[in-house]
Structure 1
């Protein structure tokens, strides 16, 4: 760092203090690289403030493989609950001991004419030779403009604000979206005895257990989690996929929306409009349920093939048999007549990298990169879904990505010094 009369300078500035930023710090420290981590809130803040009370991991605990800090508990095939996850992260924070400043919002990252970057923050300016953007791709909660026309007496929140059923007004609840958060929040409300209306989206589903093991265990053994973006059949398109819905709750189980329907949950297709208090839905519920089941079956069949090809002794498998089918597609629902007093928007987040002034983004605001390395020298991204593999945005794969970027940073610094 320079003298007190000059702009503080670091070899690397890391933006974001989640598991990605902390993992980057871990490897930069191993390489002896001077750096500073900037976090606008508290370290690992999203895990503390954007999860509902009954939240738990959907991947088994053994997949918690943060660098230098693998899961060491006595339940590797269980699923940590919210408090246990926070305790795990607290231990990681203490172990890494990153050079960091919290409560500092980054307002601008801009390449300098003389090389390196200017980083403007709520607490002054910094300069850096290289920058890692590790703030994630889930910054802006998505709420459709349609929400502006919902009757004012109905409470509306985004999934990141949901905590439990008791904090919602009495009455029925509409959950919009059936990805991981939507499906699990709908289940949480359903188990709490709330009448739930669910607008189903395009998310696929996956079995929790199949042929005697957690499906995640099978897929890991099959090396699925080692497939890189450039080897995946969808290539970069896999980054647009919605996560499969299942749960680790109560030891782990499938989430079957059809079963919920037999128990009183009311399912609809894609929400498309609102006139007064009357919601409008696409007539595609049956096709969306069938598509989700098809993915479920396809994953199970891939496990069957693996077992057969490798002569593995495992319990027999079976095909899924739908327990419910919609008799007719319902395309309208009156909010007031249905007694709906709350809406929870579970349709995801959008990235917000507007503070990064570099020509490295596509038309949707996502950075263009290869394994986090952009075309702008010295600018990197870390912690994004499918940055390199399935585990890139998760506890299971962030170490591999962070180590790779640390090596790239050291190599770039050596080339600059030699030049």
Structure 2
């Protein structure tokens, strides 16, 4: 591979994880390139709906050398503000980035290091940092193929606003953060919404006078590492709690939506012969979400009692609505539904990386971003090390750690051999 450009580090992905990695590589004067198949940090502008806002307060935005410094640290940045925040980070980092370049294959070289094939040509590197996240391929179930062509179908990453959908009622499938917020967005726009509720937990926005995130920060939750979490690595598979930062922040209560006309069902399992079939688990799912909600608040109550912090009195959420009966089937033709928004997540796609670092589900096996294959590291995955690893709050700290380990390895490789005399 004579003449092939060689780098100490190649970073795959130009989102906040890749940019944070570049920041720390530059601090240590380590040569590198960032490859981004679209444009730097594009997902915030191209894969979020119009009313999108952060679900964590602005003070948690702490990219390296670029903390939030706006006028509302306890507020929640809206989409345009998030885009501006990230773009200013791009300008500050000024990374050596190749935008519009896809990495198509990475293989290990017999002599050490890696061969990288890209849409712009071949490169070699001592180290590979995978910073492309874990949300690659939108999940749309095969049952979608059986639905009538007259039903418009989009994934949550394609949703922008209610007006893009045809007139009529909307079925939202999934009640994680995206599903719950998109269902609310449609509901507030005056659309009749049918929501297939999943098994996602929820939490309060504010409790006893403060944002729940602020309480949990005081309690040290966001500093808990994955190896200290009761679920250990299993926490990486957890669904995020649904809540919103919209309009200054509030709870999302699916039961209240039901009192206002939203139709709730259990998990959507199939479509056959014109019938949508649902698992009869709506009541159990709502109860689980509320137990989590009250459980988090109870943990805050305990913290307040132990520390003596002054706060308003405690409370316990009481359901404002319960399903009168489980509904296992719905005839599509007579339902009024003309569109479906699939909000059931993504699957990872790391097929381009030829290295034995994945488990049976195709997910990276690592410890704080480092894999068992020397020179292959990951950044920006959920719970890579802490709750904030995939977010603005802690991705920079993770990147600093990974880069420090890279620097150590490069230093060892390049140290001159001592010769005994």
TM-score by length of 1: 0.98
The 5 A counterparts of 1:10-21 are: 10-21=7-18
Following TM superposition, by how much is the alpha carbon of 1:399 offset from its aligned partner in structure 2, in angstroms? 1.0
Do residues 324 (structure 1) and 321 (structure 2) align? yes
CA distances 1:257-301 after superposition (whole Å, capped 9, x unpaired): 000000000000011111122100111000000000000000000
Following TM superposition, by how much is the alpha carbon of 1:51 offset from its aligned partner in structure 2, in angstroms? 0.2
1:304 to 271, 285, 301: 301
CA distance in structure 2 between the partners assigned to 1:276 and 1:125 by the alignment: 51
Counterpart of 2:229?
232
CA distance in structure 2 between the partners assigned to 1:345 and 1:276 by the alignment: 20
Counterpart of 2:345?
348
Query: Is the 8 Å Cα contact of residues 149 and 276 (structure 1) preserved in structure 2?
Result: no
CA distances 1:51-109 after superposition (whole Å, capped 9, x unpaired): 00000000000000000000000000000000000000111000000011100000001
Following TM superposition, by how much is the alpha carbon of 1:45 offset from its aligned partner in structure 2, in angstroms? 1.0
Counterpart of 1:213?
210
SS across alignment from 1:119: strand
Following TM superposition, by how much is the alpha carbon of 1:48 offset from its aligned partner in structure 2, in angstroms? 1.1
SS across alignment from 2:371: coil
1:371 to 368, 371, 392: 368
Counterpart of 1:334?
331
CA distances 1:318-339 after superposition (whole Å, capped 9, x unpaired): 0001000001000001112111
Following TM superposition, by how much is the alpha carbon of 1:414 offset from its aligned partner in structure 2, in angstroms? 1.4
Counterpart of 2:282?
285
CA distances 1:8-34 after superposition (whole Å, capped 9, x unpaired): 111000000000000000000001101
CA RMSD of aligned residues (A): 0.9
Following TM superposition, by how much is the alpha carbon of 1:417 offset from its aligned partner in structure 2, in angstroms? 2.1
SS across alignment from 1:230: coil
Counterpart of 2:252?
255
2:390 to 377, 390, 393: 393
Query: Is the 8 Å Cα contact of residues 150 and 276 (structure 1) preserved in structure 2?
Result: no
SS across alignment from 2:9: strand
CA distance in structure 1 between the partners assigned to 2:38 and 2:204 by the alignment: 36
Do residues 134 (structure 1) and 131 (structure 2) align? yes
CA distance in structure 2 between the partners assigned to 1:313 and 1:326 by the alignment: 38
Do residues 154 (structure 1) and 166 (structure 2) align? no
CA distances 1:140-196 after superposition (whole Å, capped 9, x unpaired): 000000000011100000000000001100000000000000000000000000000
Counterpart of 1:84?
81
SS across alignment from 1:206: coil
Number of aligned residue pairs: give it: 416
Following TM superposition, by how much is the alpha carbon of 1:416 offset from its aligned partner in structure 2, in angstroms? 1.7
CA distance in structure 2 between the partners assigned to 1:313 and 1:235 by the alignment: 33
CA distance in structure 2 between the partners assigned to 1:416 and 1:202 by the alignment: 49
SS across alignment from 2:160: coil
Unaligned runs of 5+ in 2: none
Do residues 33 (structure 1) and 18 (structure 2) align? no
CA distance in structure 1 between the partners assigned to 2:182 and 2:233 by the alignment: 29
Counterpart of 1:381?
378
Counterpart of 1:272?
269
CA distance in structure 1 between the partners assigned to 2:256 and 2:332 by the alignment: 24
CA distance in structure 2 between the partners assigned to 1:332 and 1:169 by the alignment: 23
Counterpart of 2:405?
408
CA distance in structure 1 between the partners assigned to 2:391 and 2:333 by the alignment: 40
Counterpart of 1:62?
59
CA distance in structure 1 between the partners assigned to 2:67 and 2:330 by the alignment: 48
Do residues 113 (structure 1) and 110 (structure 2) align? yes
CA distance in structure 2 between the partners assigned to 1:167 and 1:129 by the alignment: 47
CA distance in structure 2 between the partners assigned to 1:31 and 1:8 by the alignment: 21
1:223 to 212, 217, 220: 220
Counterpart of 1:200?
197
CA distance in structure 2 between the partners assigned to 1:277 and 1:179 by the alignment: 27
Unaligned runs of 5+ in 1: none
CA distance in structure 2 between the partners assigned to 1:221 and 1:236 by the alignment: 24
Following TM superposition, by how much is the alpha carbon of 1:388 offset from its aligned partner in structure 2, in angstroms? 0.4
